[in-house]
Chain A
């Protein structure tokens, strides 16, 4: 589950493996092991997304990973396109916007679920997504 989430976000398998490993180590130390699935998955998605955003923002601009998502996943082509767009502008986008955008575009979450995972209000999430969409439109 953790690895699949990281591959969705990052595509590059080595990079995804690194982030998945770091997420797993933090999970083991976190105190959420054994919690109910809603709590556990929120923690995993929040932590791995933060780590992935750090990676995305460190990538050199000309490194575009076009690898398709692992396995048979719904909307694979859309994921690849969304990843291209996100990688193109990642360094200039605030981390909070990137986190919300990743959860929305790669993990198919709605505003309510994103708010639950990030511990924000739905209003904040809506603003973040709107800002990201405007930014993306300006780049096209």
Chain B
């Protein structure tokens, strides 16, 4: 058995990376196996503080679950990226949605229901488009309310800020639009509407 792998290599294994040499060592080394056992994939322990957040526009004032401003040990779920984005064909722009429920962060699978208090963030792969706009549908006024507009240079961009879902019944509708210049929601070169189903039970 050779030298121990670095802790980062062990962490990469815990997150699902395929590192044959390090994996072989860890399977024969009690200490490394114990380290991996204390960090079972894909969970990691980390403290949580409140990130910046905004509410979706139609939200009624609700008793939002208080975020733990003080440091607390929580589970952070960081799944490996799927082979294909869930809302795109190959080579096309794509949108990924991340949800933070309590202290657990995960990538939305495209169908799982959301809970009041969930906070969402969007990652956009623009595939050549340079500007993005995000809007939420307001069922009272039946209009799209802009949430974010900005540039999206590069391969992928995690949009700044997060939005919190309220307890209002029904699904949330989010529109993500891309273009090569400032985006017009009603005439963007590419757009995708995300329908976020909600369950009635509040986030724990």
Contacts and interface: CB of A to CB of B under 8 A. Distances in A.
Given A21-B49, A24-B47, A30-B158, A71 B38 contact: yes
Contacts of B80: 36-37
Contacts of A33: 78, 98, 105, 121, 123, 158
Contacts of A44: 11
Majority secondary structure of chain A interface residues (helix, strand, loop or mixed): helix
Contacts of A17: 47, 71
Contacts of B48: 21, 24
Contacts, number: 123
Given A21-B71, A34-B98, A73-B31, A41 B47 contact: no
A107 interface: yes
A73 B98 CA distance: 32
B73 A3 contact: yes
A31 interface: yes
A3 B48 CA distance: 11
B157 to A, nearest CB: 7
Interface string A1-38: 11111001000000001101111110011111111111
B71 A113 contact: no
Contacts of A20: 46-47, 71
A33 B44 CA distance: 13
B127 interface: no
Interface size class of B (residues with CB under 8 A): 35 or more
B180 interface: no
Nearest to B5: A108
B87 interface: no
Interface in A81-106: 106
B45 A29 contact: no
A137 B9 CA distance: 29
Contacts of B100: 28
Interface stretch (B13-21, B133-141, B165-173, B186-194): B13-21
A34 B47 contact: no
20 contacts: A1-B14, A1-B44, A2-B46, A17-B71, A20-B46, A20-B47, A21-B48, A25-B51, A29-B160, A34-B78, A36-B17, A37-B15, A37-B17, A40-B78, A41-B12, A72-B31, A72-B38, A74-B29, A75-B31, A110-B6
Given A1-B44, A34-B98, A38-B12, 18 more contacts: A2-B47, A25-B49, A28-B100, A30-B158, A31-B156, A33-B105, A34-B78, A34-B79, A34-B123, A36-B80, A37-B11, A37-B17, A37-B80, A41-B8, A72-B34, A72-B35, A73-B35, A74-B35
